[in-house]
Amino acid sequence: MDKFIVSARKYRPVTFDTVVGQPSITNTLKNAIRNNHLAQAFLFTGPRGVGKTTTARILAKTINCESVSENVEACNVCPSCISFNSGNSLNIYELDAASNNSVDDIRALVEQVRYAPQLGKYKVYIIDEVHMLSASAFNAFLKTLEEPPSYAVFILATTEKHKIIPTILSRCQIFDFNRISVEDIALHLKFIAEKENVVAEEDALHIIAQKADGALRDSLSLFDQLVSFAGSKLSYKDVIENLNILDYDYYFKITDDLLAGNMSAVLLAYNEILNNGFDGHNFINGLASHFRDLLVCKDEITLPLLEVSPNVREKYKVQSRNCAANWLLEKLEVANRADMGFKSSKNQRLHIELALLRMCSQVAPNTGTPEPFKKKTEASFSSTPTAAVSTAPVHAPPSPTIVAGALSQPAVETTASVASASQPIHQTAVPVSVKEKSQGQSTTLRKTISISTKLYKEADPSTVLQAAESLPEIQEEFTPDQLESAWNDYAKNLQVQGRMTLSAALLKRKPDLKENFALFFAVDSAAAEKDLNDQKVDLLGFLRNKLSNYKLNLTVVLGTGDDTTSKPYTPSEKFKKLAEKNPLLHELKKRFDLEIEY
């Protein structure tokens, strides 16, 4: 029985034209040989399995060939080519720098360089994994690399160019080898399958090519493994079973269920995937890649980015017609969040299931126009409100939100309820009073308008205040203690939200109440002033609602509080304050090139 030779060795390229996926590099080398512009030192760099060492051997063989063809390829019949093909060439010296990385190894190589070739024009030294050389070995190699004899050619190969010292790089012509495309690998696998009399499905070869991640040698190793498993017929099913890859059909089915909002079907499909032994993390990453591929199919220009077989590409085209781009982007965002939080989750299955349920929560119609994902209810202020008679302040529960575009023409929708002890910080109700006389008695009609915090973030704060101040006013009196209590409640709510710095700034001193309900609050630094101004709209709305006084207005001032001197707030301000006491700090910062951490 003949000895088995792995495909990576058996079908290793022997000419420039048979090198897969590197046409720019092979054409450059052929032109250099044709025009006699051959450098004396080359550096071939790139990922594993893309043809660096193979190209180096072909270059060494070709430049020593006695009768190079018009296409600049070795003849394979001259004595130099025959000795090279049999592995007996004395003109080509290969060194594995991973195991020969000392100064003595490089000195031995330099000694050999002194001897001219016995046959052919050049002595070629191929040093593989050159980044493994020690610093001393690199330094010992510098002079010879810069000024070698006319007959010496050095070809260095590495996967980690950044580890090579700059003085070596400057002495070499650098060729960057690219990852080989999925299409090129699939075509090469098809060629080898025909040579080996293996009937392989096109989808199966594309899966192998994708799994190889741009490395041709890896794809050939997988091909040999799968042929050993499946025999002379290699099917798509054999490949996904043997390589433990999730079938495309699962992703297509789950996407259809997500479009229909069928939560039960999605959860059952995920359960089946787990029962088949697949990992939840790989599943969510694969689903995100599926959404990305659907998004790529939305435009003909981006179709070349889809690295799948023609049969699968057609399935993507069909399904992408039912998926709007915004819908796909939303699902990609949910999948990305699930991916980032997977490892830290205590219940990883529930973590993925929640992500799938979120994806199901918004149903995209088959027309390709999805419903809004975070639906914003347009401002609904009714022109004929329902009145409620009350002698105490009445506050509204959560009601429809004002959106920024609706501020110019507000309508009013009213709701009555018993006054609550405190209003949540994220929901601000603006009360409006209207007096009406009936049978000699005065009754107060209360209308409330809900403005959510989301509005403040989306709309210009001055626009919100202007719209609110145009409404009917109330001016109920309140005591300084009530003002301080409401102020402290807001600061405590900020603590619950984790905004400790701003909360501390609010609790540091009391607001100063002036005439006409004008509030002034002093802060110690410009940074604190900016933070409080950013929060001003929400704070003012909270106070107006809590104190039932819509005439309240707030002004933030800098450095005019109880303290005669401002206190440092940010790290830079603290450094400046310390440097005023000890100017040598500036010299220390400058001498050691220090930076202030934030």
Dump pLDDT digits (tens) for 262-287: 889 999 999 988 988 888 898 999 99
Measured CA to CA, the distance from residue 283 to residue 296 in angstroms comes to 20
What is the chain's mean pLDDT, rounded?
Answer: 77
Low-confidence ranges of the chain (pLDDT < 70): 1-2, 362-474, 559-570, 597-598
pLDDT value at residue 364? 52
pLDDT value at residue 463? 46
pLDDT value at residue 2? 63
- Convert the pLDDT of each residue in 37-60 to its tens digit: 888 899 999 988 888 999 999 998
Domain residue ranges in the chain: 7-176, 182-242, 248-360, 389-469, 480-558
pLDDT value at residue 336? 92
| Own/partner pairs, 187-194, CB within 8 angstroms, 24+ separation | 188/20, 188/216, 188/219, 189/219, 189/220, 189/223, 192/7, 192/11, 192/220, 192/223, 193/223, 193/234
Closest to 324 measured CA to CA, from 287, 293, 294, 303: 294
Q: Find out whether 359 and 403 touch, Cβ atoms under 8 Å.
A: no
Backbone φ and ψ for 343, nearest 5 degrees, come out as -65, -30
Q: Find out whether 291 and 254 touch, Cβ atoms under 8 Å.
A: no
Q: Which two tokens stand for residue 457?
A: 């973030």
Written out in words, the top-level CATH class of the domain with range 248-360 is mainly alpha
Q: Find out whether 502 and 532 touch, Cβ atoms under 8 Å.
A: yes
CATH tag, 480-558: 3.30.300
pLDDT value at residue 351? 92
Closest to 548 measured CA to CA, from 473, 437, 489, 449: 473
Task: Go through 242-254 and write b for each residue having 16 or more CB atoms within 10 A of its CB, e for each that does not.
Answer: eeebbbbebbbeb
Backbone φ and ψ for 99, nearest 5 degrees, come out as -110, -5
3.40.50.720, 3.40.190.10, 3.40.50.300, 1.10.760.10: CATH of 7-176: 3.40.50.300
CATH 1.10.8.60 fits 182-242, yes or no: yes
pLDDT value at residue 97? 87
Residue 137 one-letter amino acid: A
pLDDT value at residue 248? 83
